[in-house]
């Protein structure tokens, strides 16, 4: 999951950088996300990646440009920004999944007398 995190982290850093949104989207896709496949992602993110991938390959490569470069150049700035937001949303969702995986598991401790209340610290029992 760390490699996946690094790919999205790199893409988001490009997306929030300087320059026109279309160029940032092209760079983020090319440099960080183009090698990802839906099977590499958790189920909850697969359809979003598929939508971005479809948009990034909507046009054929031509004139020395790759399919994603041509596809993004044909997009409006608004459409390019919406795809950038999708990537950011996937990053945020992935972030919350990683935090949940890393969170320590709580467990109930105690024996038969668990729940009697007399094992509470004094400051809590007065509440």
Strand (E) or helix (H) holding 109:
none
Query: Which position has the token pair 């399919």?
Result: 67
Indicate the DSSP class of residue 111.
Answer: -
pLDDT tens per residue, range 25-47: 999 999 999 999 899 899 999 99
Q: At what angle do helices 77-102 and 2-15 cross, to 10 degrees?
A: 150
In this prediction the pTM is: 0.75
* DSSP element (H, E) containing 46: helix 43-56
Q: What is the DSSP letter of 18?
A: S
pLDDT for residue 109: 62
Q: Residue 122: is its pLDDT beyond 70?
A: no
Question: Which two three-digit tokens encode residue 65?
Answer: 């440009």
Taking the C-alpha atoms of residue 3 and residue 113, their distance in angstroms, rounded to an integer, is 46
Mean pLDDT (whole number) for 67-79: 97
Query: Confidence class of residue 95 from pLDDT cuts 50, 70 and 90?
Result: confident
65: three-class secondary structure by DSSP:
strand
How far apart, in whole angstroms, are the C-alpha atoms of residue 73 and residue 32? 19
Report CA torsion sign: 60, 81, 86, 96: positive
Higher pLDDT, 115 or 36: 36
19/117: higher pLDDT:
19
């Amino acid at each position: 999951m760390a490699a996946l995190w690094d790919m999205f982290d790199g893409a988001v850093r490009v997306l929030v950088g300087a320059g026109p949104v279309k160029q940032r989207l092209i760079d983020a896709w090319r440099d960080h996300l183009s090698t990802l496949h839906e099977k590499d992602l958790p189920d909850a993110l697969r359809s979003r990646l598929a939508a971005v991938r479809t948009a990034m390959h909507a046009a054929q490569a031509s004139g020395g440009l790759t399919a994603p470069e041509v596809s993004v150049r044909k997009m409006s700035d608004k459409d390019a920004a919406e795809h950038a937001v999708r990537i950011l949303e996937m990053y945020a969702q992935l972030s919350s999944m990683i935090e949940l995986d890393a969170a320590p598991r709580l467990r109930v401790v105690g024996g038969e007398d668990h729940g009697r209340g007399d094992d509470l610290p004094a400051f809590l029992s007065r509440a």
